[in-house]
Amino acid sequence: MKSLLLVFCSVLCMVTATFAQTRQVSGKVTGPDNKAVAAATVKIKGSTTATSTSTDGSFSIKVPAGNVVLEISSLGFATKEVSVGAAQSSVSVSLATQSSDLSDVVVTALGVKREKKALTYASQQVSGDELRKGANFNFMDALSGKAAGIDIKISSSGAGGSTKAVLRGAKSLIGTSEALYVIDGVPMVNNKGGQPGSYGGTDGGDGLSSINPADIESVNVLRGANASILYGSQGANGVIVITTKKGKAGKTTVDFNHSTIIDQVSGIPDLQFSYGAINGSDYNWSKTKSNYYQNNYVKEFFQTGVNVTNSVSVSGGNDKTTAFFSYANMSVKGVMPTNTYTKHNITLNQSTKLFNDKLTVSSNVIFAYEESKNRPGAGYYNNPLTGLYLFARERDFNSYKTNYQVFNPDRNIYKMNWYSTEEKQNNPYWEINNNSKLQTSSRVIANVKLSYDIAKHVKFETRANIDYNDVLRDNRYAAGGNSVSVSPNGTWSYTKYNDQALYADGIFTYNNTFGSYSVSALAGASYQKNTFNNGMSVGNGTVALMYPNFFTFANMPYNVIFNQTINRTIKQGAFANVQLGYKDMFYVDLSARNDWASTLALTGNQSYLYPAVGLSGIVSQMVKLPEVISYMKVRASYSQTGNEVPFNVVNPWNSINGSGGPTGIGGIARNTQVPFTNLKPEIIEGNEYGLEMKLFKNKIGVDFTYYKDISTNQFLSLAAPSGSGFTSYYVNAGRIENKGFELTVDAQVINGNSFKWKTAVNVSQNKNLIAELIASNPNYQVGGDDEGFASVIRAGGSFNDLWIYKFARNTAGQIILNATSGVPTKAATQEKVGNVNPDFLLGFNNSFTYNNWYATVLVQGKFGGVAFSKTEAFLDSYGVSQRTADARDKGMMPINAIQGTTAVTSIDPAIYYSAVGDRNKIMEPYLFSRTNVRLGQLVLGYNLKSKNPNSIIKDANFSLVGRNLFFFYKDAPFDPEQSMSTGNGMQSNDVFGLPSTRSFGVNVKFTF
C-alpha cells in the first residue's frame, strides 16, 4: 500500500511539475469576518492556471512575469479580481459574501449542474464532510436526519447490511419505492439481497455498502419525480445524487483518515432469571422463585463490536489533468460473536482536457470488495437468539455453552446439545460456531465520459458506465443441528450470481442568453441494460447430503434442484429539457422523456412518454420586500413518470418441476398465469409547490415544499378464481396518494468571532392513502398474515397498515375469558391497529465551534405509527420476560375481564401470558408506539492547523464520535430504525432481530 501511495504522489508531482512558470505568488483569502476561506479557486485571469486555497485560506500560485490579474472565487462568495504587480509576491484577498444563494450551483439529474435559484423543484444538498462526521460505515445511515423528507432505516444486521430509504412515501405496490442512487450522473445498481422474515433468514445486503463514504464530495437529495424525470421510471421514487471527489488543479493533497468505533448492544430485552420451567418444559412457568439461577449469560453472549476504518486519498493535478486516488479499508468485529466484516475500496478518477481544452476526457473506476462472515439474521430458524432468550431458567446454561456439541457414537459425529426439540430453538453456541455464513461481493464501477464543446454555447457529452458486482452467499449448517431446518447430513445454501448494469448516454446541452432571456436546454438519449441475479442458487434444505458436513456440488443428492436465476431488462430513453429564464427572476422548465422498456414487450405499451413542467420566480428580484427578507423564491411543478413492470411477467414459459425419480423424468409445471398482454406501465403524477427564503441578511434560511403524488395503474397480482382455469393473473389498477410537506430551516444562531452556533431543522410529513386497489373487489389486499403480524395494503388504508388479533371483548370493554378454563380469548378477526410507517420525521442538527473546538449534536425523531414486537410475544409466552416475573412476584395480575357472567379482576400470570403472545395468539399487548427521539449523533472535535507552511502535516483533526447514544423517548422494546428487514413487509417489526446498538469512538484526520 505504501509503495502504491508513493507512486501516485510522484505521478501527481510530475503532472504538476511539467508546467513552465516564472514566479511564485502566495497569499491568503479571507471572508468578511476575517476568517480563512478554504477551497477557494485562485485562477490567473485569461489563463487556465488555477489553484485552490488550503484550509487556512493560504495559496501559492506560479504566475508569468509581469502584471497579472487573479480571479478568486468560492461558493457563497462574490468572485473577486485582484491585480498583482510584477514585483509583488504576496497578496491578501478579502471576499464579500454573496448577497443570497443566487449563485449556488447544484448537481441535478444526469449530472447536469444548475443554479439552485432556477430549479422548479425541491432539492437538498449535504456535503461529504457532514456525512463523514459520525464515522458511519454507510453513507445513507449518515444522511438520516440531515435532509428533509427521507425516511431511512438501517438493517439491524450490522456492518455491510442493507438500507431502506424512501422519499415521500411508498408509491408502488410491487417495488420497494426506494430512491434511485446515482453516482456522477450514472444510475448505480442497488440490487438488494433477500431479507429475513418471521421464519428466519439473513439480510442479503445491497449495493450501497460498497461505496466508500470518504469518496463522497456531496449528496444531493432530489425528492420528487419532478426532479428526476430525466432518469425516467427508475427515478420515480426520487433520486440520491452522489458526487464523488475529484482531483483539483494546484497542490497535491494527501488526506488520511482513521476511525475506531466501538459498538455496544443497548437493546437487550428485559428478561427474568428467577422463575424456571417445570418438568423439563420449554416454558418457564414455575411459580417458585429462585435466586440461584444463572443470570448473566445473555449479556455475556454479546461482545463489544469494533469497527476500524482507515482511508487515504491523494488528489491533485494541473490545469489540463486532474486525478484523485483513494484507498480505504474497514475491519469490523460485530456484537454477535463470530460476526466479522471487512471491506476494501479503491477509487481512481482522472480528467484530462485535450484539443485546446475543447474535449474533456474523464474516467472513474471504483473497486470494492466486501466480505461478511456470520452476519446475524432474524426470525425463528437457525437464529442463536431464540435459544439464548427462551432458555429454561432452571437449567445450567454454562454447561450448554461449554458443551454446545456432544459426541454421537452412533454416527461418529458431533451433534448439537440442547434440551429443547423446538423447531425454533438451537444451542446459541452451536449456531454461531458450527453454522457458518459467508457473503462476499466484488464490485467494479467504471465509467468514461467525453465532453466536447462543439460551439460556443453547445456542448456534447457522452458517458459509458459498467457496474459489475459478483456476489456469493454460502451458508453451511452442520449435521446434527435442528432437524427441522437442517438435514441429517447438514444443509448447504449456496448462491452465486453477478449483477451487471451497462449504461450509455449522449446529451447535447445548449446555454445562451439573449438580453434579458436565458436558455438552458438539453436533449439526449440513454441506453441501459441490466442483467441481475445472473447465476445460480442451490440448497438441499432438509434433503440429506450424501456425506455429512461436506459442502460441494458433487455431494448433492440427485433430487436437489440447481436453480439458475436471471433478471434482465433493457431500457432505452430519449429525453429533452428546456429552461427559459427572464432577468434571473423567472424561470420556466419543460421536460419530456420517452422510455422503451423490454419488460413491456408484447403489450404494445413498451413505449411511453411522460412530461414535466415547472415554474419558479425569484420574488425578491421582482418586488421590493421588507428588509428582513433578503431572498424569496416560489416554485411549482407538475410531472408524470412511468414505471415499468418486473421482468418476465407478461408471458412466462414453463418450468421443470422436480428432479424426477431415479427412474422417471421430472414433470413440467406449466405456466398457469393468465397472459397479460395489455399490461401498462404504472404512472406516478407529482405536484409540488415550494417556497425558499433567506431572512435577516441570510442568517436564516427556509425551504418549504408541499407535494402531492398520485400513483395509478398499479401492477397487481391476484390469485385467479379456483374455477377460472388459471392460478394467477395481473391487472393494472389502483390509486395511491402521498401528500405532505418538507421544511428545512437553517440558522446562524450565534455568529461571534470565536463562538458560532449553526442549526438546521429538517421536518417532513407524509400521508399515504390507498385510495383504491381493485374497485370491483374492495377486500383485495396485498400482504397478509405473517405469523400473527399482518402488514396489509388495502383500499381505504395506508401502505403497510398493521392488522393483529386483539382480545375478544364484550361491549363493556371487558376481556372475554373462556367460560370453563378462564383463559382470555382472542377476537375472531384481525383488526387494523395502525400503520408501521412514521407520520412525521424530524432532524435537528446543530454545530458549534469555539476557536478550534467544534461539536455537532444531531437529534433525530420519528413520530407516529406503530411498532410490533413478536420477540416480546415469545418472551412472555415462554415466561422469560421480566414482566412475567414481576406479575408472578405479585401473585395475580389485574385484568378487566368477564368469565361467563362473572366479572373477573385478576388472573394468574401463567394463564394470561400463555394465552397471549407466541406466534399467532393475542398480539394486542405487543403493539407499541413507533415514536422515538434519539441523540443520533454527537461529535466533539478539535481542528489543529499548522502555522508553518512548510510543515508536513498541513492540518489535523481529532474528534470523539457517538451515535445512537440514548433515546429521549422510545416506547417500543426495540429500535424501529434498526430494522430486521429492509424489505416492504416486515417494517417496524421485530422477530428475534439483533438488539440495537450504541456506538462511540474516535476519528482522526490528517492532511498532508
Partner 1 sequence: MKQLFIASIILIAFGSCTKDFQATNQNPNQISDEMLKQDFNLVGSPFSGMLYELHGNQGSQTQEDLCYDSWMGYMNTPTDFVGNVNNTTYYIRWNSYWGRQYGNIMSPSKQVIQLAKDNGLPLFATWAKLIRVLSMSRLTAIHGPIIYSNYGSTASTILYDKESDLYNTFFAQLDTIQSEFGANKTYAGFAKFDPSYKGNISAWMKVVNSLRLRLAIRLSKVAPALAKTQGEKAMADPAGLIATNADNFNISLLGNIMPVGMICFQWDDTRMGGPIESFMVGLKDNRIAKFFSPVTDPALYADHPSSPYKGIRNGAYIGAKIQRVPFSKVSTDFNTVQTRRHFTASEVYFLKAEAALRGWTGAGDAKTNYETGVKLSFDDWGAGGADAYLADATSKPINYVDPIDSRNNFTTPSTITVAWNEADSRELKLEKILTQKYLATFTNTLEAWVDHRRTGYPKIPTVAKNDSGPDWGVIPAGEFIKRMPFVNAERTGNTAGVTDAVSKMGAGAKDDIATRLWWDTGVATNF
For partner 1, the closer CB: 774 or 904:
774
C-alpha to C-alpha distance for 258 and 272, rounded to whole angstroms: 41
Which of 19, 355, 517, 558 binds partner 1 (CB under 8 A)? It is 558
Choosing from 369, 596, 729, 958, the residue that interacts with partner 1 (CB under 8 A) is: 596
Name which of residues 415 to 444 contact partner 1 (CB under 8 A).
419-423
877 versus 881: smaller Cβ distance to partner 1: 877
For partner 1, the closer CB: 127 or 534: 534
Residue with cell 416475573: 885
The CB-of-541 to partner 1 minimum distance in angstroms stands at: 9
Cα–Cα nearest to 469, from 531, 550, 380: 531
Cell for 975? 429500535
Closer of 351 and 417 to partner 1 (Cβ): 417
The nearest distance, CB 284 to partner 1, in angstroms, is 11
The minimum distance between CB 661 and partner 1, in angstroms, equals 4
Q: How many CB atoms lie within 10 A of CB 127?
A: 14
Of the candidates 448, 538, 543, 855, which one interacts with partner 1 according to CB under 8 A? 543
Stretch that binds partner 1, among 25-33, 115-123, 395-403, 653-661 (CB under 8 A): 653-661
For partner 1, the binding residue among 32, 66, 721, 900 (CB under 8 A) is: 721
- Pick the binder of partner 1 from 290, 654, 678, 852 (CB under 8 A): 654
- Name which of 741, 995, 738, 989 is nearest 866 in CA terms: 989
Cβ nearer to partner 1, comparing 327 with 503: 503
For residues 915-934, which are near partner 1 according to CB under 8 A?
915, 918-921
- Nearest Cα neighbor of 964 from 932, 937, 1003 is 937
Q: How far is the CB of 940 from partner 1 (least distance, A)?
A: 53
Report in angstroms how near the CB of residue 914 gets to partner 1 at its nearest.
8
3-state secondary structure of 810: coil
CB 157 within 8 A of CB 238: no
How far is Cα 227 from Cα 116, in angstroms, rounded to an integer? 12
Between 730 and 974, CB nearer to partner 1: 730
Q: Which of residues 383-422 bind partner 1 (CB under 8 A)?
A: 419-422
Residue 281 or 621 with smaller CB distance to partner 1: 281
d(CA 198, CA 871): 10
Site for partner 1 in 606-645 (CB under 8 A): 606-607
- Of 709, 940, 746, nearest to 843 (Cα)? 746
Task: State the minimum distance, in angstroms, from the CB of residue 419 to partner 1.
Answer: 8
For partner 1, the closer CB: 279 or 948:
279
The residue behind cell 423567472 is 586
519 binds partner 1 (CB under 8 A): no
What gap in Å lies between CA 689 and CA 788, rounded to an integer? 41
Per-residue string for binding with partner 1, 266-285, x by CB under 8 A? Answer: --------------xxxx--
Q: Quick one: three-class SS letters along 505-528?
A: EEEEEEEEEECCEEEEEEEEEEEE
Residue 762 or 877 with smaller CB distance to partner 1? 877
State which H helix or E strand residue 459 sits in: strand 458-477
One-letter amino acid of 359: L
Q: Residues 66, 661, 891, 949: which binds partner 1 (CB under 8 A)? A: 661
b/e for 300-335, b at 16 or more Cβ within 10 A? ebbbebbbebbbbbbbbbbbbbbbbbbbbbbbbbbb
Q: How much is the CA Rg of the chain, to the nearest whole Å?
A: 31
Query: Residue 723: which residues within 8 A CB-CB, separation 6 or more?
Result: none
Question: What's the closest the beta carbon of residue 334 comes to partner 1, in angstroms?
Answer: 31
For partner 1, the binding residue among 238, 276, 524, 973 (CB under 8 A) is 524
CB 8 within 8 A of CB 1: no
Q: Which stretch binds partner 1 (CB under 8 A): 124-132, 214-222, 707-715, 718-726?
A: 718-726
Of 89, 565, 677, 851, the one binding partner 1 (CB under 8 A) is: 565
Closest approach, Cβ 198 to partner 1, in A, equals 14
- Choose which of 468, 527, 706, 1000 interacts with partner 1 (CB under 8 A): 527
Q: Is 655 in the site for partner 1 (CB under 8 A)?
A: yes
The footprint of partner 1 on this chain (CB under 8 A) covers a number of residues equal to 88
Q: Is the dihedral of CA 59, 64, 67, 68 positive or negative?
A: negative
- If one asks whether residue 191 binds partner 1 (CB under 8 A), the answer comes out as no
Cell numbers of 870, please?
413478536
**Binding of partner 1 by 26 (CB under 8 A):** no
Pick between residue 475 and residue 489 the one whose CB is nearest to partner 1.
489
- Beta carbon nearer to partner 1, 542 or 751: 542
Q: Phi/psi zone of residue 30: left (φ > 0), alpha (ψ -120 to 50 degrees), beta?
A: beta
Q: Of the two residues 523 and 745, which places its CB atom closer to partner 1 in the complex?
A: 523
485 to 504: interface string for partner 1, x by CB under 8 A: --x-----------------
Footprint of partner 1 on 826-855 (CB under 8 A): 828
Least distance between partner 1 and beta carbon 491 (Å)? 11
536: left (phi over 0), alpha (psi -120 to 50) or beta: beta
Name residue 98's beta-bridge partners.
none
Q: Return the bridge partners of 703, or none.
A: 692, 744
- The secondary element (H helix, E strand) that includes residue 217 is strand 216-222
Alpha carbons 633 and 644: distance in angstroms, whole number: 35
Q: Closest separation between CB of residue 566 and partner 1, Å?
A: 6
Cβ proximity of 801 and 793 under 8 Å: yes
Q: Is 717 in the site for partner 1 (CB under 8 A)?
A: no
d(CA 124, CA 732): 34
Q: How far is CA 856 from CA 145, 258, 717, 744, in A?
A: 13, 19, 48, 18
Site string for partner 1, 877-916 (x = CB under 8 A): -------------------------------------xx-
| 510 forms part of the interface with partner 1 (CB under 8 A) | yes
CA of residue 581 relative to chain centroid, distance: 36
Could you say which of 13, 17, 546, 656 contacts partner 1 (CB under 8 A)? 656
Q: Is 671 in the site for partner 1 (CB under 8 A)?
A: yes
CB 640 within 8 A of CB 612: yes
Within positions 738 to 797, which residues make up the interface with partner 1, using CB under 8 A?
777, 779
